[in-house]
Structure 1
Amino acid sequence: MSRFDIFRESGNPMFNENKLKLGIFGPNVNNSCSMTLADTTFKPDFETNVKIAKMMEDAGYECIVPVARWRGFGGSSNFNGRCMETYTWAAAMAAVTEKIYLFCTSHVPTMHPIVASKMLSTIDDISKGRIGLNTVVGWFPKEMEMFSGKKMEHDKGYQYATEWMEVVLRMWSEQFFDHKGEFFEIKDGWQEPKPSQSPRPVLISAGTSTKGREYSARFSDFNFGYIESMEHATEWTNFMKKLAWEEYKREINTFTTGFVVCRPTEKEAKEFYNYYVREQGDWEVANIICDMFGIESSSNSAEFLTKARENFIGGWGGWSFVGTPEQVADEMIKLSKTGVSGTLVSFLDYMEEMPYFNENVLPLLEQAGVRNPIKEDSTITEPILNA
């Protein structure tokens, strides 16, 4: 039986029968994924996050992926400057939810693997098998400088992440092991409890470079990434599946993200997009982030640069789902046909916009067969112990 088959048999939401899985991205940070000064009722606090999670569970979403952030990016909004730490966030959310799958996003240079493995096993017990791990090497220099060091050189960062993950996996599965590597030395490594879910917590990572994709192919169950077109989504998914199988004899899926502006008419959707992105967008922080990612004017057209910055302002560079319920659903159906397993979504105002999306878009996705009606018994009711 394959690893994916074990996940499915255990009732893990990330491996259910829905062709297009849905989650949300970044409800634990200010502005969530929208780099804008537009008015919103959204707050990155626990009370708001619980309300959002309850709406998601009622509607049948699969997961929540928080953003790990240690400081803001600046700009007028100081985008993501206020942030709930993701391990403690996940533990609290696990205690007040029943169905949704939760992830911890962890910058591996900021957390010793023994501490991370123990914390995740603890949250796994609290959640009854609903916690996963999103590993991030750490790419924001000012954040890494806060931890008495510099941002690691790219390839070295993935060497560190590889050894970090090897230690975590051994802590979850072995008793009394020694480890001596380039970055960690461990004597009599031991942990109880082990994770309750089988075969282990779901692993995701967002590497898109050669080293990042190799890391994902070796360890992750989902390679998280941004799509440039539907054709690119197909190519990326096929590439990752081939890489994981040929190099490591592993299965892997892909997951992306996008932002939603859904209104009764196309005119209303485009007007709201224009308001919060073009009129109220924090272009200063969009420029800061695009410069960090190397999206520079010297090598790209003015049209490309404007669109790239608009997508960052709209929702962290994700795919735009803007239009009527029919148009948004159609774009999501197209995404499902590429082979991508699912998408995280973000809204400027979750409390105001998510109910309309749930009531008007989700039924269309069910009619198209990419999502199934909610089953009352779909939750994981008991942890499944490792053999």
Structure 2
Amino acid sequence: MVQPLAPQRDALKFAYWVPNVSGGLVVSTLPQRTDWGLAYNQQLAQTAERAGFEYALTQIRFTAGYGAEYQHESVSFSQALLHATTRLKVLAALLPGPWHPAVVAKQIATIDHISGGRIGINVVSGWFKGEFTAIGEHWLEHDERYRRSREFIQALKGIWTQDKFSFRGDFYRFTDYTLSPKPLQQPHPEIFQGGSSRAARDNAATVSDWYFTNGNTPEELKRQIDDIQAKAQANGHRVRIGVNAFVIARDTEEEAQAVLADILKHAHVDAVKAFGEAVTQAGKASPEGEGNWARSTFEDLVQYNDGFRTNLIGTPRQIAERILALKAVGVDLVLTGFLHFIEEVEYFGAKVLPLVRELEAAQAATAAVGIAQPA
């Protein structure tokens, strides 16, 4: 077995999707040894922490569908996972609209104290109109949803870092508001945000700490990342990049490809088509037609954040090398999903992560030699 090396200072970080909704991470009738309940998820969190994962991301859903008939609420579920772990940072997904920034700021600050500074948030601007309609929330057009998210993030940062915070936006207003106690994390808990549209990228380049993008090839990711980072630099802002990936790691490439074929063979066709209709509309709703899922195929949507596109499917060595290719184009974090979570997270930590650290160390050593050579 390859022994893990100490991570480099700029080492890639790893997160996993918390299966706090039923149905697992693929829209398929193939049996999955993954469960949405608390006991399973606490065991998974402990397994991931031992395996070397830094983050866990809970999901936010208000309505059933697409295989997710049951859903646990993200913030309270995140706190339960924090109680079961000691190092893992848990990211709670939040929707501006249902959540007000004053409530979020206070709630997350309290959890930050309880957990010793291990809570973060993922701001989801919203893509499913039916969900908003069902709970009586006003539905905004695409770019307006991202404009609200920007104000939401600006308000959170102000509340968490300032006394007598005042803000006058189109969606949120504060007057001399002081939150006490403020979060333990300085300057504030990490704020993640996703999307692929122009509006999503502009938010990331302006206010977010982290930007999540759907799965894609290194070449396509590089286009997005270069665009975001150029704008961030012009704004005097720093943002880090996370990419979604569904991992199928097996001892042989043939085994891994067979698992993928089995998932697709057993795809829940009606559920995938229904999901596809909703998300394709959401993806094309951006003015430039480049939102999430705008170009997704049926096969892409079986893993509902285009996770197959990232191609972390094969042997541990193949996957580790592809992960380093992601790092080379500017990816800082890989957000993983698995078919059978606990056992596959354990396998990933034992077989893949040590190879990633080994390759990172080798690259760092090569770079150091190059720097040391006389001109």
TM-score (norm 1): 0.83
User: For each residue in 1:297-349, what CA deviation from the matched residue of structure 2 results, as whole angstroms up to 9, or x when unmatched?
Assistant: xxxxxxx9998222221453122311122222222122122221121111111
The offset of 1:256, in angstroms, is 0.2
User: For each residue in 1:341-361, what CA deviation from the matched residue of structure 2 results, as whole angstroms up to 9, or x when unmatched?
Assistant: 121111111123222222221
Provide the C-alpha distance between the structure 1 equivalents of 2:83 and 2:361, rounded to a whole number of angstroms.
30
Q: How does 1:48-87 map to 2 (within 5 A)?
A: 48-73=40-65, 78-87=66-75
Matched, 1:266 2:266: no
Match of 2:369 in 1: none
Structure 1 residue corresponding to 2:321, chosen from 330, 337, 344: 330
Structure 2 residue corresponding to 1:133, chosen from 107, 116, 121: 121
Structure 2 residue corresponding to 1:162, chosen from 143, 150, 153: 150
Match of 2:270 in 1: 284
Match of 1:10 in 2: none
Match of 2:30 in 1: 38
Structure 2 residue corresponding to 1:112, chosen from 100, 111, 123: 100
User: For each residue in 1:82-104, what CA deviation from the matched residue of structure 2 results, as whole angstroms up to 9, or x when unmatched?
Assistant: 22111111222222211111111
Provide the C-alpha distance between the structure 1 equivalents of 2:144 and 2:296, rounded to a whole number of angstroms.
32
Tell whether the 8 Å contact from 1:21 to 1:342 is kept in structure 2 after alignment: yes
Query: 2:195 is matched by which residue type in structure 1?
Result: G
* Equivalences, count: 345
Between 37-46 and 282-291, the greater mean CA deviation after superposition: 282-291
Provide the C-alpha distance between the structure 2 equivalents of 1:370 and 1:311, rounded to a whole number of angstroms.
33
Provide the C-alpha distance between the structure 1 equivalents of 2:314 and 2:19, rounded to a whole number of angstroms.
23
Tell whether the 8 Å contact from 1:19 to 1:370 is kept in structure 2 after alignment: no
Tell whether the 8 Å contact from 1:256 to 1:344 is kept in structure 2 after alignment: yes
- SS in structure 2 opposite 1:294? helix
Tell whether the 8 Å contact from 2:125 to 2:145 is kept in structure 1 after alignment: yes
Match of 2:341 in 1: 350
Structure 1 residue corresponding to 2:131, chosen from 140, 143, 149: 143
Structure 2 residue corresponding to 1:361, chosen from 328, 337, 352: 352
Matched, 1:340 2:331: yes
Tell whether the 8 Å contact from 1:217 to 1:244 is kept in structure 2 after alignment: yes
Tell whether the 8 Å contact from 2:93 to 2:121 is kept in structure 1 after alignment: yes
Matched, 1:313 2:299: no
- SS in structure 1 opposite 2:318? helix
CA RMSD in angstroms comes to: 2.4
Percent identity for Structure 1 against Structure 2: 25
The offset of 1:170, in angstroms, is 2.0
Structure 2: 5+ residue stretches without partners: 1-6, 284-292, 364-375
Provide the C-alpha distance between the structure 2 equivalents of 1:189 and 1:307, rounded to a whole number of angstroms.
44
Match of 2:244 in 1: 257
Query: 1:54 is matched by which residue type in structure 2?
Result: Q
The offset of 1:206, in angstroms, is 0.7
Provide the C-alpha distance between the structure 2 equivalents of 1:371 and 1:253, rounded to a whole number of angstroms.
23
- SS in structure 2 opposite 1:365? helix
Structure 1: 5+ residue stretches without partners: 1-14, 297-303, 373-387
User: For each residue in 1:223-247, what CA deviation from the matched residue of structure 2 results, as whole angstroms up to 9, or x when unmatched?
Assistant: 110243211222222221111110x
User: For each residue in 1:68-124, what CA deviation from the matched residue of structure 2 results, as whole angstroms up to 9, or x when unmatched?
Assistant: 111123xxxx42232211111122222221111111110111101100100110111
Query: 1:90 is matched by which residue type in structure 2?
Result: S
Query: 2:346 is matched by which residue type in structure 1?
Result: P
Alignment CA distance shift 1:57-1:106 (3 Å): same
Provide the C-alpha distance between the structure 1 equivalents of 2:362 and 2:30, rounded to a whole number of angstroms.
32
- SS in structure 2 opposite 1:219? coil
Alignment CA distance shift 1:173-1:323 (3 Å): same
Provide the C-alpha distance between the structure 1 equivalents of 2:95 and 2:260, rounded to a whole number of angstroms.
32
Match of 1:376 in 2: none
Alignment CA distance shift 1:95-1:339 (3 Å): same
Provide the C-alpha distance between the structure 1 equivalents of 2:274 and 2:130, rounded to a whole number of angstroms.
12
Match of 2:286 in 1: none
TM-score (norm 2): 0.85
Provide the C-alpha distance between the structure 2 equivalents of 1:148 and 1:305, rounded to a whole number of angstroms.
27
The offset of 1:16, in angstroms, is 7.5
